[in-house]
Amino acid sequence: MQKQKALLIIKPDGVQRGIIGKIIARFETVGLKIIGLKFEMTTSDKIIAHYPETEAWFKKVGERTLTNYAKKGLDAKIVFKTDDAISIGKIVKGWLIKYFQESPVFMVVVEGYDCIEIVRKLSGNTIPVLAAPGTVRGDLSHDTIDLANEQNRPLRNIIHASDTPEDGEKEVNLWFTKEELFSYKLAGEKFMYSI
């Protein structure tokens, strides 16, 4: 089995509420290894590069937003002045760029077997109100799509966690240099993996 890397970003709402340590501790105690850490005021360029700048991504986000609006019987045109999925995706990305720059963000690279699956599980559903108890988003936030829409802002969901092993590699390389990542052994590894 191959080890995977995942990028975690404690977003400004997590930083503002003083729960950075509490969140990181959850990933540490499950046995993942922290191999990189930094606290940074990000730039628009970095955030633009972080979220895929592709039609497919804009469309996916736009369509998800339209579906959420339709479910609630709300008119997307009132907020976005358009009902074109790609245009809406671009507006949402603009919100995200602003959100990520509300304060410094705390970035962590974790490594482990099935790391991606584990960070997704521990982070919970990306919509905090739907996230299960025991997950970061379920325990530490209750934001909803309705509220975010009403306030014309993105969901504030505390943490970003890489979605796939490929995203993990890509995101880690975007935010960290080779010199900022460490290779070392944890005391517990021998007992976790019998190696």
CB of 53 to other proteins, least distance (A): 27
Question: Is the Cβ of residue 37 or residue 127 nearer to other proteins in the bound state?
Answer: 37
**What residues contact 144, with CB distance under 8 A and at least 6 apart?**
127, 128, 129, 155
CB of 67 to other proteins, least distance (A): 33
Question: Is the Cβ of residue 60 or residue 153 nearer to other proteins in the bound state?
Answer: 153
Give the Cα separation of 101 and 28 in Å (integer).
26
Paired residues of 159 in beta bridges? 10
Tokens of residue 95, six digits: 């919100």
Query: Where does this chain bind other proteins (CB under 8 A)?
Result: 15-16, 18, 37, 39-41, 103-104, 182, 184-185
3-state secondary structure of 8: strand
CB of 16 to other proteins, least distance (A): 5
The candidate with the shortest Cα–Cα distance to 100, out of 177, 143, 158, 52, is 158
CB of 6 to other proteins, least distance (A): 18
Question: Is the Cβ of residue 41 or residue 78 nearer to other proteins in the bound state?
Answer: 41
Catalytic residue among 5, 26, 137, 160: 160
Question: Is the Cβ of residue 58 or residue 176 nearer to other proteins in the bound state?
Answer: 176
Active site residue 160: yes
Residue 64: other Cβ atoms inside 10 A: 16
Burial annotation 153-169 (CB, 10 A radius, 16+ → b, else e): ebbbbbbbbbeebebbe
**In the block, which residue shows the tokens 């052994």?**
185
Question: Is the Cβ of residue 11 or residue 90 nearer to other proteins in the bound state?
Answer: 11
CB of 124 to other proteins, least distance (A): 24
**What residues contact 181, with CB distance under 8 A and at least 6 apart?**
35, 36, 109, 172
* Residues carrying an active site annotation: 160
